[in-house]
Structure 1
Amino acid sequence: MYKKIDFHAHYLSPGFKSFLKTYFDDHGDGVKTPDYTIDSTLKTMADNNVEYSIISLSSPHISNTNDAGKTSDLATEANEYGAKQQQTYPDKIGFAASLPLPYVDESIAEIDRARANHASAFTLPTNANGTYLGDPSLDPIMEKLNEQKTLVMLHPNEPKPIAKDVNSELPAPIMEFFFDTTRAVTNMVLHSVFTRYTNIKFIIPHAGALLPVISDRLSLAQKLNPDLKDDQVDMGSVLATQYFDVAGMVLPHQLPVLQQVSDPTHLLYATDAPYTPAPQVIQLTKELENTGVLSEATKQMIFYKNGKQLLDELK
């Protein structure tokens, strides 16, 4: 097996487990909360020859408390848990800190705490209780993250609001996560997030969701709304410069489409464990290792070289 670095792996702190049980009856986004200890991460790493994992919270986002104090306390608890795992396994584990979005002052304070705890990255939800990335109200948080070189991992959430009478039988991760990633990143483009905050390297999850498909279509918006500036519809530049993890079922169709519009040095291996069950992680990993869609050189880049270079640049 190829050695690997995992850029989309999850942990569940005690506080986050309690949050999921209290607010979602252990079925956040329609998904049963998986059993988890740090040994779960280490087992997945061993089974898939992963040398290093950056662990982060998954959805639903902690803003579902609808309370600034509770959301902030949850972020701090989760980040302290992640920092402890990183300190215990410094050669194997890094952590991406969560922020109590959409609360600005609390998020800025949490950025300082997380940096003091040597967070490897930060994770931001596509929306925090309906406030989407790109919203001008979040600019002070982006400015704070932009003060120094920072890695930011985006993570999809259930859309807010969501049409409850449409496709209600499908858990949100199956379809709505793709739509929400696409919606959030497009909103970030419209508000020039990628061009204003150039010290931030963003990782867009799940092979870019639907972004490669709508990229050309977005440029047509100027014909309907002439007030739009060129950079507000320039999805192509974002796809060419930002990073993408390949978590999930990206073969046989999705990854080849992404490769047409992205930089091959910006594709990153990801497991999405433990929300993707261990047997399926192994299966999806083997598919990536054995596919004829990717060249040997590209496989080496996705599994390890790209991630190693990215982390080295952030030191």
Structure 2
Amino acid sequence: MPGIPRWSAAEHVGMMDQLDIATAILSISAPGLHFGDDAAARRLARYCNDEGARAVREHPGRFGLFAALPLPDVAGSLAELAHAFDTLHADGVVMESNYHGIYLGDARLDPVFAELNRRKATVFIHPTDPYCPCCQGSEQAALPPLGYPYPMIEFIFDTTRAVFNLILSGTLEKYPDVKIIVPHAGAAVPVLTARVGAISALLKLGRNRMSVDDAIRKLYFDLAGAPEPVALSALLQVADPTRVLYGSDYPFTPAPVAADLAAVLDRSVHIPASLRGGFMRENALGLFPRFGEG
């Protein structure tokens, strides 16, 4: 998106107060932290995670932290995981949909997923720029070569590719204790679930015994973006409703737009009264019970 929004912990808390949000979990979004230099990416990951942990300490109960990793540097990421969980007590990690063309589910990331599985960690996926020739443009250009910002369309498809790669590669089955949160009401995953399931079964694709439908129901989904009136309806046809979570997408979604989207969700006919409390709070507390203490 053109421009980088201003952010501060104090402004974020102010937005949360206006929208009646008790707690937000901080994370680094696209384009991630690695720009070709492993050592620089490691330093940037440590700086970002330490700053995130400082916001958590200075605003008790208001923030959690999804730690960022210097992927595709696996060794550096394993070291940062140890620091994030053992020193900073992070609530999980954020992973980009791809790292310079290495998509989630790629075997090269298995050591990281093995450690996340050992820790029974939560992973929040955030889309980033697709890795393809038609999408590689000048960093100085106002818009990418296709003529529109990547978050408008391409982020949705990059998330979708990452999720189905996690399923078809067998990664979700190999590391069953990793809890995955998919953003933006599942991107295009709900619409493509039946298609991917049917074709993968017909051609005997994939490396796992779990069906695509069962794998989707193991995932968590947030409601950031524009889930109504179509995306939320599609999501609820494939997802476990106890694994649907509110998300604001702030600050890349400006505070007034986040308020409008929250109001849309509050009056959504697709969220029955029996599920509303879960979507807006209880389901998240199931993942992060520390925020419900006291």
> TM-score, length-normalised on structure 1?
0.86
Tell me the residue number matched to 1:37.
8
Aligned to 1:50: 21
Contact 1:51–1:92 (CA under 8 A) maintained in structure 2: yes
- Structure 1 segment 101-112 matched on structure 2, within 5 A: 101-112=71-82
Q: Which has the higher contact order (CA 8 A, sep 6+)?
A: 1
Q: 1:12 corresponds to which residue? A: none
Which residue, out of 201, 207, 219, partners 1:242?
A: 219
Whether the 8 Å contact between 1:40 and 1:274 is mirrored in structure 2 is no
Are 1:271 and 2:248 an aligned pair?
yes
Find the partner of 1:90 among 44, 60, 63. 60
Deviates more, 1:100-109 or 1:144-153: 144-153
- Give 1:67's match in structure 2, choosing from 37, 43, 55: 37
Superposed displacement of residue 223, structure 1: 6.7
SS at match of 2:134: coil
Q: Distance in 2 between matches of 1:216 and 1:83?
A: 40
Are 1:300 and 2:277 matched, yes or no?
Answer: yes
Q: 1:58 to 1:223 in 2, by over 3 A?
A: closer
Q: What is the aligned-residue RMSD (CA, Å)?
A: 2.0
Q: C-alpha distance in 2, partners of 1:228/1:34?
A: 40
The within-5 A match list for 1:155-304 is 155-164=126-135, 168-222=146-200, 225-226=203-204, 228=206, 231=209, 234-304=211-281
AA matched with 1:261: V
Change (3 A) 1:198 1:75: same
Gaps of 5+ in 1: 1-29
Provide the rounded CA distance (Å) in 2 between the counterparts of 1:159 and 1:137.
18
* TM-superposed deviation, 1:162: 4.6
Q: CA deviation at 1:208?
A: 0.6
- Give the 3-state SS of the residue equivalent to 1:163 in structure 2: helix
Identity within the alignment, %: 32
Equivalent-residue separation in structure 2 for 1:138 and 1:297 (angstroms): 39
Q: Which runs of 5+ in 2 are unaligned?
A: 137-143
Residue 145 (structure 1) aligns with:
116
Could you tell me which residue of structure 2 aligns to residue 130 of structure 1?
101
Change (3 A) 1:241 1:224: closer
How many residue pairs get aligned? The number is: 284
Partner Cα distance (1:150, 1:94) in 2: 14
How far off its partner does 1:260 sit? 0.8
* 1:311 aligned onto 2:281: no
Deviations 1:99-128 (A, max 9, x none): 011111000000001012111110000001
- Alpha carbons of 1:78 and 1:181: their partners in 2 closer, same or farther (altered >3 Å)? same
Judged with a 3 Å threshold, the aligned counterparts in structure 2 of structure 1 residues 310 and 226 are, in CA distance, closer, same or farther, namely closer
Question: Partners in 1 of 2:270 and 2:23 — Cα distance?
Answer: 25
In 2: Cα distance, 1:109 partner to 1:159 partner:
27
Residue type matched to 1:187 in 2? N
The letter of the residue matching 2:271 is L
Note if contact 1:34-1:274 (Cα within 8 Å) is conserved in structure 2. Answer: yes
1:114 paired with 2:60, answer: no
Alpha-carbon shift at residue 267 of structure 1 (Å): 0.4
Deviations 1:137-182 (A, max 9, x none): 1000111111122111000011012524997121000100100000
